[in-house]
Amino acid sequence: MLRSATSFLVLSLVAIQAAVASTIRPGTYLIQDVRSNLFLGIGPLLPVYPPMDVPLRLVPEHIASYEKWNVREGDDGGIIIFAGKGGPDDYKITSRDNNVIVSVQKNPETWDAQQVGGGPLVVAIKLPYEDKVFTANGGVYSEVTLQPSIGGVNQIFRFIPIERDLYHRNRFTFQDTC
């Protein structure tokens, strides 16, 4: 009896992990804070080489520093989030202590995207096996940090798929590829 209950529990956890892992598929997205409708962006960037680590920030749509984020599969059903074309000089979203940073020099970090309602692309982004989630703090240009999950609206993010590679952020931003 105990063995069948344990088997059922393990299979249930595997099914839940598979369902959570499939909420965000590989692709290109804008990532929006549900509470403020601001977007995840990089900056400010100092003109130095190699590029320094910078905080992940909330930026408005009309500012060119919000990013198109690429998502690929990571370890254990998680996701890796980065800005770039898949090369070594991409800006990867990673963590340092309780800060969410964007780094060229660090290795990519795997995140869990746990569906929280409001559609399949509305999620809490968290460190695997830890109770630390992306948390939006304040308003425009505020840093995103890692805080214990309390289910607050400032811990919920929407992934907005970009269907075309030629997407323009706005009509005043020049396209760098054809």
For residue 16, what pLDDT band results from cuts at 50, 70 and 90? very low
Domain count, the chain: 1
- Assess if residue 151 is contained within a domain: yes
Q: How many C-beta atoms lie closer than 10 Å to residue 104's C-beta? A: 18
pTM of the model: 0.79
Domain span at 153: 2-161
- In the chain, pLDDT over 70 holds for what percent of residues? 78
Tokens of 105: 């020099």
Query: Sign of the CA dihedral 113, 116, 120, 122?
Result: negative
Cα–Cα distance for residue pair 129/29, rounded to 1 Å: 25
Task: Specify the DSSP class assigned to residue 174.
Answer: P
CATH number at residue 130: 2.80.10.50
Cα–Cα distance for residue pair 73/110, rounded to 1 Å: 8
- Assess if residue 102 is contained within a domain: yes
- Assess if residue 45 is contained within a domain: yes
3-state secondary structure of 123: strand
- Assess if residue 168 is contained within a domain: no
123 Cβ contact list (under 8 Å, min separation 6): 23, 24, 113, 114, 115, 116, 156, 157, 159
- Assess if residue 98 is contained within a domain: yes
Over residues 120-142, the mean pLDDT reads 94
Q: What is the pLDDT of residue 64?
A: 62
Q: What is the pLDDT of residue 75?
A: 83
- Assess if residue 126 is contained within a domain: yes
